[in-house]
Amino acid sequence: MTTLLFLPAGDAGFRWMRFGDAGLLARGEGIPAGDEPVVAVVPGDAVTLHWADLPARSTAQAAAAARIVAAEASAAPPGELHVAVGEAEGRGDGTDRAIAVVGAAAMRDWMDMLARAGVDPVALVPAPLLLPRPEEGFVQATVAGQALVRGRTSGFADEAPLTELVTRGEPLTPIEREPLDAALAAAAASPALDLRQGPFARRRRFAIDWRLIRRLAVLGAAILGVTFAISLVRVAKYSFAADALEARADALAATGLPRGETVTDADRQLGERSGRVIGPGLGFSTTVAAAFAAVRNVPGTEVTAIDFAANGDLRLTVSTEREALATDLKRALEAAGFTVRASVFQSAGGRVSGELTVSVR
């Protein structure tokens, strides 16, 4: 439902007409009760209406052009005027628009009057634009006690001198009650021009949509829940994979340990067994192999005794043809990456003998 609220004109006070899907529902005087949308109607003699071809590309361009038209047609300073532009009504290119010109002070008075009455209208419409736009000639009707006339490019209060001047004596076609009520209902649902533009535009109230907020909160909680569940699944997956790898490592370690030995720390136990098998340091086999390779590379030297100590040191008792060969053997072992300590070599029976202690660096 929509209510047309007619502002006081002359000796008459507020009047209203309420429209719904079934047409006119009720009418009365004063301020209507209820919270349905209200379209306020200003007196026809307080607003000057013009029609002009204005740009249809944007509302801002149309409003700027309308101010130029109003300034040219009005004797009042442009700063004291309020100009509003309506929707395109022409045919063809659709640029024929109504222009309403009213004093800015009058607009402020109307808005203050409505505010005191507790009404915030969704639109403010000049009374002549409630009448249907005729295809030709002029139509006349009395609405809420106001006699109004509208032509194709004109609209004004019906006053004898003014009417005769504008219509040039052309007869007025009265509008019957039913077509008039239909036109008023259409104007209430979709006004052709709203004076609430620019500084008088209706402010949009910020309303909190609690239903939307609740839906967003539920959606956010669901997203957090799903994210947490994904994290839990990943942690569980990694935990199961780690357990499987640990079990596999224990199984592999068991194959390298003595049969029947309990696996408690696979890395430590394998290290201990490796030390027991190959010996400390680089191990017996590796150290001895490197030592014999060095002996082979130094002709005239031979190993007469070997002792592998618990700390990984290898003691070689060597015999050489001359003392210089012992020095060459020591350098060959050092070149192989070992630390070599030599004892005092002694000469006996035409050969030089002594000990070399080979250690890992």
What's the token pair of residue 291?
């030592």
**How many of the other CB atoms lie within 10 Å of CB of 152?**
16
What confidence category does residue 271 fall into, taking pLDDT thresholds of 50, 70 and 90?
low
How high is the pLDDT of residue 92? 45
What confidence category does residue 276 fall into, taking pLDDT thresholds of 50, 70 and 90?
low
What confidence category does residue 132 fall into, taking pLDDT thresholds of 50, 70 and 90?
very high
Residue range 317-341: mean pLDDT, rounded: 89
Q: Which fold has domain 2-200?
A: Nucleotidyltransferase; domain 5 (3.30.420)
Rounded CA separation 200/198 (Å): 5
CA torsion angle for 174, 180, 183, 185 (degrees, to 10)? Answer: 160
Q: Which fold has domain 279-360?
A: Gyrase A; domain 2 (3.30.1360)
Q: Which of 64-68, 229-233, 250-254, 331-335 has the lowest mean pLDDT?
A: 250-254
pLDDT over 70 at 206, yes or no: no
Rounded CA separation 328/188 (Å): 118
Tokens 């569980």 belong to residue: 236
Of 119, 117, 144, 118, nearest to 130 (Cα)?
A: 144
Tokens 């969704």 belong to residue: 122
Q: Where are the domains of the chain?
A: 2-200, 208-278, 279-360
Rounded CA separation 338/361 (Å): 6
How high is the pLDDT of residue 281? 64
Residue range 14-39: mean pLDDT, rounded: 89
Tokens 């592998």 belong to residue: 308
Contact assessment for residue 150 and residue 125, using Cβ atoms and an 8 Å cutoff: no
Mean pLDDT, rounded, of the chain: 85
∠ CA 325-316-327, nearest 5°, is 20
Q: At what angle do helices 284-297 and 323-335 cross, to 10 degrees?
A: 130
Rounded CA separation 122/177 (Å): 26
What's the token pair of residue 141?
């009707």
Q: For 303-326, how does the pLDDT look when each residue is reduced to its tens digit (9 = 90+)?
A: 999 888 877 788 899 999 888 888
Residue range 96-112: mean pLDDT, rounded: 91
